[in-house]
Amino acid sequence: MTATHTSPGHQSGTHDAHDSHAHPTTATYIQIFVVLFVVTAAEVVAAQILPSIGMTSLVAPSLLIMALVKGALIILYYMHLKSDSGVYAAPMVFGLVLATGMLITMIGLWILAPRVPCTPELGKACVVEK
């Protein structure tokens, strides 16, 4: 894959259509797509095969890693964050950090305090307070 960077001295308002440093090439985009396709296929296979061979504990970590790889490729290459100014990345990074923090915090809170008052609607999931 071709790593590209924007030339800092580029004229404002103009664009050299043949400047290969501005953005990745078409071949790079297609290569990225192939990687995304393969990783997605691997995700589907992992989700269905790993539990059947007794490796259920590996399902979540492997899927999360593959999802992160796909997300990084889309953000860096398709959304051009790799070749654009880092200032554009700041709002997205802030949002992602906030989102991840919220997800981890809320799930952690619920895992630490799973007891809820029993009501008929909850059925099997509720815990009887003694």
Partner 1 sequence: MVPPDPPKDRTMTVSTIEHASHAVPANPPSGMESLDIRKLGMWVFLGSDCVFFASLITTYFVNRPLIFSGEPNPHHTLGINFTAILAFILLLSSLTMVLSLAAFQRDNIQSGRNWLLATAALGTCFLAGQAIEFSNLAHEGVTLSSGLFGQCFLIMTGFHGTHVFIGVIWLLACWLFAGTGRFNAKNFIGVEISGLYWHFVDLVWVAIFTLIYLI
Is there binding between residue 106 and partner 1 (CB under 8 A)?
yes
Q: How far apart are CA 33 and CA 43, in angstroms?
A: 15
User: 83 Cβ partners below 8 Å, 6+ apart?
Assistant: 4, 5, 6, 21, 22, 23, 24
Among 1, 3, 55, 99, binds partner 1 (CB under 8 A): 99
Among 49, 58, 114, 118, binds partner 1 (CB under 8 A): 114
The footprint of partner 1 on residues 16-35 (CB under 8 A) is 17, 22-23, 26, 29-30, 32-33
Among 52, 53, 54, 87, binds partner 1 (CB under 8 A): 87
Is there binding between residue 94 and partner 1 (CB under 8 A)?
yes
Distances (CA, A) of 32 to 63, 73, 88, 90: 19, 7, 21, 23
Among 1, 3, 44, 118, binds partner 1 (CB under 8 A): 44
Q: How far apart are CA 12 and CA 121, in angstroms?
A: 63
Instruction: Using the minimum distance from each CB to partner 1, give the nearer residue, 54 or 62.
Output: 62
The answer to whether the beta carbons of residues 122 and 105 sit under 8 Å apart is no
- Pattern 51-70, partner 1, x by CB under 8 A: --------xx--xx-xx--x
